Amino acid sequence: MHIQNDGTFLIPIDYSKQSINAIKHSFNLARYTNSKLHILYVFAEKQDHSEAELKELAANTAKESGLSCTCSIIKGDIYEVTDKYATDKKCTMIVAGLDTHVKFRSFMSRASSSKFIKNAPCPVLTIRSNTFSPDCKNILMPFDLSPESREKVPAVIQLAKFYGADIRVVSIFDPGESEYENALLPYLNQVKKYIKENNVNCTNKSIPGRDVAEAIVDYANKNNCDIIVQMNKRDLSFGEMFSGTMSQKMVDISNVPVLTINPMERRNMPLSY
């Protein structure tokens, strides 16, 4: 699995600071993948910004990034509209700024962006920060024993080569489940070996913790990670509909940008390395 080249990056905005900041976050990855940018202004009730203002933003974005940038305006819920637009236009990446003060509509009205991520037709890069740095020196790859977790390895290697970054592989295990940790270690070593064979620096770490998402975000901050790459989970159990998955919580709580990648259609694939 790799991030597609020659595609379109969709950047939904509502003119919040985070959504405007997301535009800059798209530049380098769009350049590396030879992709175009499309800014989608979505308003819920009243259109507070003019078409001329949006076109000026797109023109300034094209000038600053050196990339082709187009724009459009649509009325509706920003997250529902974004998924539909990305599907219709076959976008290859969504770059979204998430405002921590916004209540995201989801299952049972839970304050979460999980519905938007779950239904996205392509990878989604979510950003909560108001600041921007073009550097990406450390990429954090959470890893577990699920087949989906293994699928993201080629995409993470691709990102690392784009940026000249190191990969930090981290696994979280329940302190009371020593058998899980023992089963995990051979796979961690295998993944680390595979990454190094692809000429990318890599470290791996297993950490005890009961809240997986919080432990990963804490590790990302303590180790100066610039992006977290995780897998989406499309099929939710009944319990997860209420409590949410680890990947959903990661997007909700992380101050570090999170790239969520959809799993392949084929499941339970064997390791290919």
- Residue 45 is predicted with a pLDDT of 83
Domains and CATH numbers, the chain: 8-127 (3.40.50.620), 138-261 (3.40.50.620)
Distance CA 87, CA 99 (A): 23
- Residue 233 is predicted with a pLDDT of 65
Q: Is residue 153 within 8 Å of residue 141, measured between CB atoms?
A: yes
273 residues of the chain, pLDDT tens digit each: 788 999 999 999 988 888 899 999 999 999 999 999 999 998 888 888 899 999 999 999 999 999 999 999 999 888 889 999 999 999 999 999 887 533 333 322 334 466 788 889 999 999 987 777 778 999 999 998 887 788 899 999 999 999 999 999 999 988 887 788 788 888 888 999 999 999 999 999 988 888 999 999 999 999 999 999 998 865 443 333 333 477 778 888 899 999 999 887 644 444 444
- Residue 243 is predicted with a pLDDT of 37
Distance CA 77, CA 80 (A): 5
Tokens of 134: 């073009």
34: which DSSP letter? T
Total residue count of the chain as it appears in this document: 273
Q: Which helix (H) or strand (E) holds 160?
A: helix 153-163
Tokens of 266: 């084929």
To the question of pTM greater than 0.75 for the whole model, the response is: yes
Q: Is residue 97 within 8 Å of residue 124, measured between CB atoms?
A: no
